[in-house]
Amino acid sequence: MKFGREYEAQMIQEWREAYMDYRSLKSIVKQILRYRLQKQQRPPRPPPAAGDTAPLQSDGGKGGKGGTGAAGLSRRVSLYRAFSGLTNRAKGSPKKSHKHNNPLSSKRHHYHLFEDDDEQVILINEDETASYTTTFLSPAEEGGEMEVQFFRRLDGEFNKVLRFYKQKVENVMEEADELSRQLNVLIALRVKVENPNVDFPPDINGVSSGPASPHTTTRTPATSPLDVIREMEQTEDKKVFKPAPVEVLDHIKLKIEPETPLTTLKCMIMGLTSEQTFSKSELKRAEELMSRAFVEFYQKLRFLKSYCFLNQLAFSKILKKYDKTTSRNASKPYLNTVDHSYLGSCDEVSRLMPRVEATFIKHFANGNHREGMKCLRPKAKREKHRITYFLGFFSGCAVALAIAITVLVHIRGITKSEGRHQYMENIFPLYSLFGFVAVHLFIYAADIFFWSRYRVNYPFIFGFEQGTDLGYREVLLLGSGLAVLTFGGVISNLDMEMDPRTKSFSVITELVPLALFLCLMLTLFCPFNIVYRSSRYFLIGCFFRCLLSPLYKVILPDFFLADQLTSQVQTFRSMLFYVCYYGWGGDFKKRTHTCYESEIYKELYLAVAIIPYWFRLAQCIRRLVEEKDKMHGLNGLKYLSTILAVVARTIFETKRGTYWLTVAVTTSSIATLFNTYWDIFKDWGLMNRNSKNPWLRDKLLVPYKSIYFIVMVVNVVLRLAWMQTVLGIKEAPFLHQRALVAVIASLEIVRRGIWNFFRLENEHLNNVGKYRAFKSVPLPFQELGGSKSV
């Protein structure tokens, strides 16, 4: 693989614009190469006059902003020692500015000439703001203006990278100090809650008794556990003990948000605030938050280290390519400047990483180095050959079964038989449920494939733990496996002949759809670590939070799942039909039911269609209350209009009449227009007439602009498709009414799949614009009387 592709593949996608633009610099080098090749084919011109050199002014670039414990003490005792900090910077001390050991730098402007034997190539200037400007010393040569352009662009990229890296390192150091203070409070809380009964041997370090310092206590026969918990500190020529800072707890409060619906209701209705009880549950929750914060912080350090390395490598590659093209030796002096700049000489990140590792292993991994590093550096998921094998196997079986069903239907003349209507009214709705789920899995697999291809960081957006996200092969495997089971069940129910003695069908075959449904539910809730348990539990957790939408803080995976459920209304109705058919309203042995005549069924039929839209409406209301953003209110109105349209359409299906037809058409039209507008303008961020890409948006991931216009048209057409029930299209030629409903429902799932890709593309580009590459983890402690962290 060429370096350019490998370089882009290894980028942190949310920081993409902050990386050195290797592609543009390479294009300038190619222009220089083409010019030199053309020059060799034409006679040389007279040499330039002496004294034609001129300083090169840089445009500045574009882009982003720039203890070990005492010997003999047990590890359990060390968990309660005061934490000395990750950065060893005292609280309140002034920030230590980084001074790199650049032999070329000075307090003011500095110029340095670099020589390659007898030829001077470039002159590099570093000003007092640590920005670099390069002067090319032979601009009057033929093609020299292109080399001037190269170094001007190179300086711009170098200064951009420096500013961004320096800003991120400063942010990381500030966050390290805050984590140190939070960890110190956590240790104090751990001491108070667990009340450890540990003891130090007397005179363990030869410290004689004497006047107690503000940070020491005198041992007495009736001493408390806090008096014997010490951390050894070096102070000039003697050693003293520092107790765990339990007094800190008097000045902080826990910021642990309520996570159960009951506590949320108490806070919302009764206005109760949680009291600090310093209980074990509070300690456990605080430790979980701190553990997550340390994992995210360590990920930031790894990203910064990777960012630094990749950019240094890119500068090396492009300068060597320039040297090879121009037969000059500019790479050595310029790379020497890069090495002595903040980018090459700052070692804050490298020194911080081992200290974070040691702290995490000690306090959050029970001293187990392997488990601690497993949490900090989870292994990347590896592609397994058996996944590909079984995917091909199940896909082949599904295709073969589909062909077999087609042949059986044709040979037996089932489409023209007397039992056709009975089969479509009773059996087809049972199997259509599995069809809707399988189609959604196939569409989701296609989304994952294209997200990966266009480098949309969907695991980060959804909040998947590293190594647990499913690739498109795994999702296709699940879909094809479900398709095989479904087609096998369909074949078992294609027998249209009843037993003349009982006038009923075989009980075993009639129970096949119910058995498949139960198997699907058991697999989804299976507690064993099979069939992607982490992904199943993630899905169940999201669904549970959707079910109690107003009582949980709304996050992207939750409302994204709720949006998927709005396209699965027919699946919910099929589940309701299962209950009725095998329950109170049907006789499955004779393939008959009275569900459609039942008033209870009609009411539930309407309710299950509204539930997914209610999830989204409740989430919008919650976000409106929390974030005070009117856009969430408008989004809620969109789902409210859809609920009214669904109600009107469902009533029209049962009651008919001109009045309900008018109401259904009106509400459906309003909902369709509202939803279509929101899809294109808000969710996808398109139709911006003043953007760099007219009528689209400034940044696009798909290189073909026509794709965006095509999907907008397709989205409108598919939005109109679900209005077919209102318009009275009940049965097409050679297509039963139930089959037509299934086709329309499948088209809605396809539309949702298209929406998924462009919705996450827009979300990803928003993250890129804000350089948002990490999850925000709330810290557990806060100072009393303010909103600042400890």
Residue 143: pLDDT band (50, 70, 90) is: confident
Same domain for 442 and 311: no
- Residue that is last in its domain, among 379, 411, 439: 379
Same domain for 409 and 355: no
Same domain for 397 and 309: no
Q: Evaluate if residue 625 carries a pLDDT over 70.
A: yes
What confidence score (pLDDT) does residue 476 get? 96
Q: Evaluate if residue 652 carries a pLDDT over 90.
A: no
List of residues 6+ apart from 450 with CB closer than 8 A: 757
Same domain for 415 and 313: no
Distance, in Å, from the CA atom of 438 to the CA atom of 134, rounded to the nearest integer, reads 60
Q: Evaluate if residue 790 carries a pLDDT over 70.
A: no
What confidence score (pLDDT) does residue 328 get? 86
What confidence score (pLDDT) does residue 383 get? 77
Q: Evaluate if residue 733 carries a pLDDT over 70.
A: no
DSSP string, 94-114: PP-------TT--SS-EEEEE
Q: Are 480 and 790 in contact (CB under 8 A)?
A: no
Burial (CB < 10 A; 0-12, 13-18, 19+), residue 676, is middle
Instruction: Please give the mean pLDDT across all residues of the chain.
Output: 81
Q: Evaluate if residue 61 carries a pLDDT over 50.
A: no
Among 254-263, 680-689, 757-766, the least confident range: 254-263
Distance, in Å, from the CA atom of 592 to the CA atom of 406, rounded to the nearest integer, reads 25
Distance, in Å, from the CA atom of 679 to the CA atom of 620, rounded to the nearest integer, reads 16
Distances (CA, A) of 609 to 431, 579, 642: 19, 16, 10
Range of the domain at 434: 386-455+471-528
In a domain, 144, yes or no: yes
Top-confidence range, 215-224, 377-386, 656-665? 656-665
Element (H, E) at 119: strand 119-126
What confidence score (pLDDT) does residue 45 get? 57
Q: Evaluate if residue 364 carries a pLDDT over 70.
A: yes
What confidence score (pLDDT) does residue 69 get? 43
- Work out the average pLDDT over 46-59: 47
Distance, in Å, from the CA atom of 211 to the CA atom of 394, rounded to the nearest integer, reads 79
What confidence score (pLDDT) does residue 54 get? 42
Q: Evaluate if residue 448 carries a pLDDT over 90.
A: yes
- Residue that is last in its domain, among 345, 379, 413: 379
**pLDDT tens digits for range 286-311:** 899 999 999 999 999 999 999 999 99
What confidence score (pLDDT) does residue 684 get? 92
Among 88-92, 637-641, 642-646, the least confident range: 88-92
Q: Are 576 and 603 in contact (CB under 8 A)?
A: no
What confidence score (pLDDT) does residue 115 get? 44
Q: Evaluate if residue 16 carries a pLDDT over 70.
A: yes
List of residues 6+ apart from 598 with CB closer than 8 A: 580, 584, 585
Q: Are 344 and 360 in contact (CB under 8 A)?
A: no
In a domain, 183, yes or no: yes
Distance, in Å, from the CA atom of 550 to the CA atom of 95, rounded to the nearest integer, reads 44
- 230-235 and 238-243 strand pairing: antiparallel
What confidence score (pLDDT) does residue 355 get? 94
**pLDDT tens digits for range 178-232:** 999 899 888 888 888 877 654 444 433 333 333 333 343 333 343 333 333 334 3
Q: Evaluate if residue 765 carries a pLDDT over 50.
A: yes
In a domain, 732, yes or no: yes
Closest by CA position to 318, among listed 338, 302, 343, 304: 338
- Work out the average pLDDT over 506-523: 90
**pLDDT tens digits for range 95-124:** 544 444 444 444 344 444 444 444 667 888
Closest by CA position to 601, among listed 376, 429, 356, 777: 429
Q: Evaluate if residue 680 carries a pLDDT over 60.
A: yes
Q: Evaluate if residue 725 carries a pLDDT over 90.
A: no
* Number of domains comprising the chain: 3
What's the distance, CA 79 to chain centroid? 33
**pLDDT tens digits for range 398-435:** 999 999 999 988 887 777 777 788 888 888 999 999 99
Element (H, E) at 756: helix 737-769
What confidence score (pLDDT) does residue 285 get? 87
Same domain for 308 and 264: yes
Q: Evaluate if residue 784 carries a pLDDT over 80.
A: no
In a domain, 437, yes or no: yes
Q: Evaluate if residue 639 carries a pLDDT over 50.
A: yes
Distance, in Å, from the CA atom of 250 to the CA atom of 675, rounded to the nearest integer, reads 52
Same domain for 173 and 311: yes
What confidence score (pLDDT) does residue 44 get? 58
Same domain for 31 and 8: yes
Residue 242: pLDDT band (50, 70, 90) is: low
The percentage of residues in the chain with a pLDDT greater than 90, rounded to a whole number, is 43
- Residue that is last in its domain, among 528, 560, 576: 528
- Work out the average pLDDT over 703-724: 89
What confidence score (pLDDT) does residue 193 get? 83
Query: What dihedral angle (degrees, nearest 10) is formed by the CA atoms of 506, 507, 513, 519?
Result: -130
What confidence score (pLDDT) does residue 168 get? 94
Same domain for 132 and 32: yes
- No. of H helices and E strands in the chain? 26, 9
Q: In the structure encoding, which two tokens stand for residue 392, read together?
A: 């091909």
Same domain for 415 and 298: no
Distance, in Å, from the CA atom of 61 to the CA atom of 160, rounded to the nearest integer, reads 6
Same domain for 305 and 278: yes
In a domain, 342, yes or no: yes
- 781-783 and 252-254 strand pairing: antiparallel
In a domain, 615, yes or no: no
DSSP string, 618-630: HHHHHHHHHH--H
In a domain, 412, yes or no: yes
Same domain for 189 and 158: yes
Same domain for 372 and 391: no
List of residues 6+ apart from 585 with CB closer than 8 A: 593, 594, 595, 598, 601
Q: Evaluate if residue 245 carries a pLDDT over 80.
A: no
Q: Evaluate if residue 496 carries a pLDDT over 70.
A: no
In a domain, 401, yes or no: yes
Distance, in Å, from the CA atom of 383 to the CA atom of 712, rounded to the nearest integer, reads 35
**pLDDT tens digits for range 552-565:** 889 999 999 999 99
